[in-house]
Structure 1
Amino acid sequence: MRKPMKISAIAILVASLTACAVGPDYQTPLQVADISIEAPYQQAELAQSWWQAFDDVALNKLIERALQENRTLAQARANVDRAYAVFRDANNDFLPKGTLDAGYQASENGTVSPADDGVITRGYSTGATLSWDLDLFGKIRRATEAAQAQAEQADILWHDAQVQLISQVATNYGEYRGAQLRLVVAEQNLQNLQQSRAIVLARLEAGMASELELAQIDAQLHQVHAAVPAYRVALLTADATLSALLAQKPGQLKLGAVPHLPELKQPVAIAEGENYLRYRADVAASERQLAARTAEIGVATADLYPNLSVRGFLGFMSGPGLTLGSDTQSWSVAPALSWQAADLGSVKARIRQAEASSQMALANFEQQVFNALNEMQLSLSSYNLSREQQLSTELQWQASNKAVQIARERYNAGSGEFLDLLDAERELLRARDQLAQLQQQSFTRLVSIYRSFGGGIQLI
């Protein structure tokens, strides 16, 4: 009766010791009291579907292909698999390890005794070898916590890579359409200038205009022609960038020649009191990094204390007869206690390293929070100012277009000055091209809003 009680007491003692875990328990940072990271994984689907609000068929196809084919995204997905494999490996360290072994050995003159001269001995062994490291002070537990946090960080970064990829595709799609639009605007400007040149030429032939006026209108024509190659380079650049993001050769996009920058049918809405930081994968990833670094302090601290391990063997060992049976059964148990008592200085140095790494991770987390807050605010302000600028330029273009029509009619009728027509044409060219640039800029900044808010912005 006493023996079972003793065994039970030992088991309870071992269980209580393995329940201990040195080092600090991780707590969500309190330095930024008004920030809380809640369920970063639950927002992944929302963060990756915001682009559908544009209802642009070509953009939808580009993003769907990019999510399937992009190699950087595939690398991030593989990194998640690797991180979780590391976590499962660390989590298995709680359990005993064992191998099944079988071996045969033959030797001659096994000792220096003359009696063994010429004697050949043979032996055979088979059985299970087991080992178990008792996690007395939580080193394995803390290592598992760190591995789990790093795996979760890799998963979050994979989701972030998707959001970033979608933003890159949408931005470059806007640049592609913007370059197309500026080419169309240049062609329209050339047509307008050709009409004005025809008027000047007709008046020149009638003796009512000078060669100088014709040369001046030709100079404007050549200026617009000179800008066209830059627009084509921008178009080729956007094509090459999009093709790389989609993992295909350039020149295969087939997006159509009609320029159309996507627009929202409804404005974006910022919900009052909503914590949009929970949509930010980079903030959530830095928080998981902090959790891993905190757990690593416990891993280093556990080396201050002894480590208890148990090794054992259960099987058969036979002599020359190579027989297996009850007479050849064999077992062994070998508990071992190890302690880095002579190297505590190095252990303490590793603890200080882990603590410093934790402080670095905390500072990085806090900085990510402040960066995210400022990036979100800046994206909203930039978009609002861009829209304001775009609306003003649209009015300017409409007024310039009307001024050109009036100046052309007056000049053709002989009651207007050529310089007035030239100035009106020049202002119209500038206003129309600037409007095309601002349309692209507004779209790009709208994409930046969605990216900076992690896709968490809703439509009104």
Structure 2
Amino acid sequence: MRNTLKVSVIAVLVAGLTACAVGPDYQTPAKVADISFNSPYQQAEQLQNWWQAFDDAALNQLISRALQQNRTLAEASANVDRAYAVFRDANNDFLPKGTLDAGYQASENGTVLPEDNGVISRGYSTGASLSWDLDIFGKLRRASEAAEAQAQQADLLWHDAQLQIISQVAISYGEYRGAQLRLAVAEQNLHNLQQSRTIVLARLEAGMASELELAQIDVQLHQVEASVPAYRAALLSADATLSALLAMRPGELKLGSVPKLPELTQPVALVAGENYLRYRADIASSERQLAAQTASIGVATADLYPNLSVRGFLGFISGPGLTLGSDTQSWSVAPTLSWQAADLGSVRARIRQAEASTQMALARFEQQVFTAINEMQLSLTSYNLSREQQLSAEQQWHASNKAVQIARQRYNAGSGEFFDLLDAEREQLRSRDQLAQLQQQSFIRLVGIYRSFGGGIQLM
């Protein structure tokens, strides 16, 4: 009864001691300056389908393939598995460890005694070796906390990688369609200029035009021809980027010649009072890194105190003849108390290092928050300004089309100047190419809104 009571008291004391954990307990920052940060990360419902609002089948197929085949995402996914495996390994350190061993030993002159000269000893041992590090000051607990936070960070980085890859595919698709559109505009203008050159040539043969007029139309014609290779190069560049993102070989991507950029049928809208920071996986991953660094302070601090471990053996030890029985049973228990008393200066240095790393992680997290809110605001403002530019460019293009029609009619009728027609056609080309650029810019900036808001933005 008395022995049972002693064992119970010892167990309670050990449990009480192992319930302690040195170092600071982590608390998620509630605010960064006056910016509230009290909502945990939540993956936006639109994260996996926001691009479908463009109703573009080709874009849908590209992103679907990228999510399946992109090697960066595969690496990030494998990193999540690795991080959680590390956490499970650290979490198992609380439990006793053991191995099953079987061994044979032979020796001669095992001691310095004269009577042992020439004596050869042989023996067998088999059984279970056990070890248990009692986590008295919470070193293992803090290490487990750090490993768990790092595993959660890896998972968040995988979510962020998905958003970045989706956004990059959408942007590269916009660049591809934009290059197609500008190429189509240039080819259409080449066709128009060739028609104008035919008219000038006919008038020249009839004595109604000059060599200067033909030379001027040729200058503009060759100028447009010179721009075509640049558009083809931009098309090839976008094709190469998309192929790499989709893990495809050069030349395998087939998008078809549809020079049209995706557009939304409804404008995007912000929900009043919504905390969009919670959709930012990069911020959440920085917060988890802060949690891991905070736990590392406890890991370092625990070395200021003694560490208690227990080693033991339970099995059989026999002589030259391998026998297993009550006569060969063996057991041992060896508690060990260790303390880095002679190296406390290094321990304190490691604590200061962990504290400094935590301050770095805190500063990184706070900077991430400021960067995020400015990215969100900039993406909205940039898109709105781009839309204003695009609307003005559309009106300019319509006006330039009308000017070309009037100038061509007057020139054909002999009542208009050739240089008026030339200027009108030059302005038509410039305005249409500018409109194509702004259409591409608006699409890319719209994708930037979804990316900066973590996919959490909604349609009206």
Shorter chain as normaliser: what TM range?
Answer: over 0.9
Residue 36 of structure 1 pairs with residue 27 of structure 2: no
Alignment map for 1:322-341 (pairs within 5 Å): 322-341=322-341
Q: Distance in 2 between matches of 1:133 and 1:400?
A: 82
Deviation for aligned residue 1:39: 4.0
Q: Are residue 408 (structure 1) and residue 408 (structure 2) matched?
A: yes
1:164-218 C-alpha deviation (Å, 9 max, x unpaired): 0011111001111111111110111112212222222222222221110111011
What is the match of residue 6 of structure 1? 6
Post-superposition CA distance 1:259-299 (Å, at most 9, x none): 12111111111111111111111100000000000000000
Q: Give the secondary-structure state (helix, strand or coil) at the position aligned to 1:273.
A: coil
Following superposition, the deviation at residue 81 of structure 1 comes to 1.0
Shift in Å at residue 45 of structure 1? 5.2
Question: Which residue matches 2:205?
Answer: 205
Q: Matches of 1:74 and 1:44 in 2, distance apart? A: 21
Q: Find the counterpart in structure 2 of residue 158 from structure 1.
A: 158
1:237 matched to which residue of 2?
Answer: 237
Aligned residue in 2 for 1:363: 363
2-side partners of 1:222 and 1:412: how far apart? Answer: 23
- Given that 1:47 and 1:279 are in contact with CA atoms closer than 8 Å, whether structure 2 keeps it comes out as no
- Preserved CA contact (<8 Å) 2:22 2:298: yes
| Distance in structure 1 (CA, Å) of the matches to 2:13 and 2:35 | 43
Partner of residue 59, structure 2: 59
- The 5-angstrom pairing of residues 59-208 of structure 1 reads 59-208=59-208
Q: 1:416: how far off?
A: 1.2
Any idea what SS the aligned residue of 1:91 has? helix
Partner Cα separation in structure 2 for residue 242 and residue 221 of structure 1? 32
Corresponding residue for residue 308 of structure 1: 308
Counterpart of 1:299 in structure 2 is: 299
Partner of 1:436: 436
Q: Helix, strand or coil: the match of 1:15?
A: helix
1:106 positional shift:
2.0
RMSD over aligned CA atoms reads 1.2
Q: Deviations over 1:228-256 (max 9, x none)?
A: 00000000111111111111111111100
What is the percent sequence identity of the aligned residues? 83
Matched letter for residue 114 of structure 1: P
- State the alpha-carbon separation in 2 of the partners of residues 75 and 83 from structure 1: 12
By how many angstroms is 1:52 displaced? 1.4
Q: Does the 8 Å contact 1:293/1:354 carry over to 2?
A: yes
- TM-score, length basis structure 2: 0.98
Describe the SS at the equivalent of 1:310: strand
Shift of 1:18: 0.2
Q: Which moved more, 1:189-198 or 1:441-450?
A: 189-198
Q: Which moved more, 1:381-390 or 1:50-59?
A: 50-59
Query: 3-state SS of the aligned residue for 1:261?
Result: coil
User: Which range moves more in the overlay, 418-427 or 136-145?
Assistant: 418-427
**SS of the residue aligned with 1:337?**
strand
C-alpha distance in 1, partners of 2:435/2:196?
Answer: 22
Tell me if the contact between 1:138 and 1:299 (Cα under 8 Å) persists in the aligned partners: yes
Contact kept in structure 1, 2:96 and 2:131, CA below 8 Å: yes
Structure 2 Cα separation of the partners of residues 37 and 199 of structure 1: 71
Count of residues in correspondence between the two structures:
459
The 8 Å contact of residues 44 and 159 in structure 1, kept in 2 or not, is answered as no
Listed as ranges, the gaps of 5+ residues in structure 1 are none
Give the secondary-structure state (helix, strand or coil) at the position aligned to 2:126: strand
Give the TM-score normalised by structure 1: 0.98
Secondary structure at 2:322's aligned position in 1? coil
| Cα pair 1:37 1:277 within 8 Å, conserved | no
1:37–1:284 contact (8 Å) kept in structure 2: no
2:88 maps to a residue whose letter is R
Structure 2: gaps spanning 5 or more residues: none
Aligned residue type for 2:56:
D
Q: Give the structure 2 partner of residue 447 of structure 1.
A: 447
Deviation at 1:117, TM superposition (A): 3.2
Q: Take 2:302 and 2:169, find their aligned partners in 1: how far apart are those partners?
A: 48
Deviations 1:140-180 (A, max 9, x none): 00000000000000000011111100111110011111111
* Displacement of 1:23: 0.4
The residue type equivalent to 2:76 in the other structure is A
Residue 373 of structure 1 pairs with residue 363 of structure 2 = no
Which residue of the partner structure matches residue 220 of structure 1? 220
Q: Secondary structure at the match of 1:17?
A: helix
